[in-house]
Amino acid sequence: MSNFVKEFVEIADHTSLDDVIDALTTLRHALPDGARPEMRLRGDDIFGRHLSICYLRPKQNDELTGERPYHPQNPDSLAA
């Protein structure tokens, strides 16, 4: 199981160019190592468009604790 979670950040379509640049710069400086960020334009003409940035971040302690009951104590005990 991966120790990373895919996180999403969205920027609305009615934002000034300076605000978009500031938001992307701030996000870039806050990204963890190995984040592998991707940017996509999502939406449509009816509901509007937005920039969607997704990246990987390490799982937090509460997320790891919540998964602990689902991990077997002995991985070899998972006989097929």
User: Domain boundaries in the chain?
Assistant: 4-62
Cα dihedral angle (54, 59, 65, 68), rounded to 10 degrees? 80
Given this model, what pLDDT does residue 80 score? 52
Per-residue pLDDT of the chain (80 residues; tens, 9 = 90+): 567 888 888 888 778 899 989 989 999 999 988 889 999 999 888 988 888 999 998 888 887 777 777 666 665 655 55
Given this model, what pLDDT does residue 21 score? 92
Does pTM top 0.75 for this prediction? no
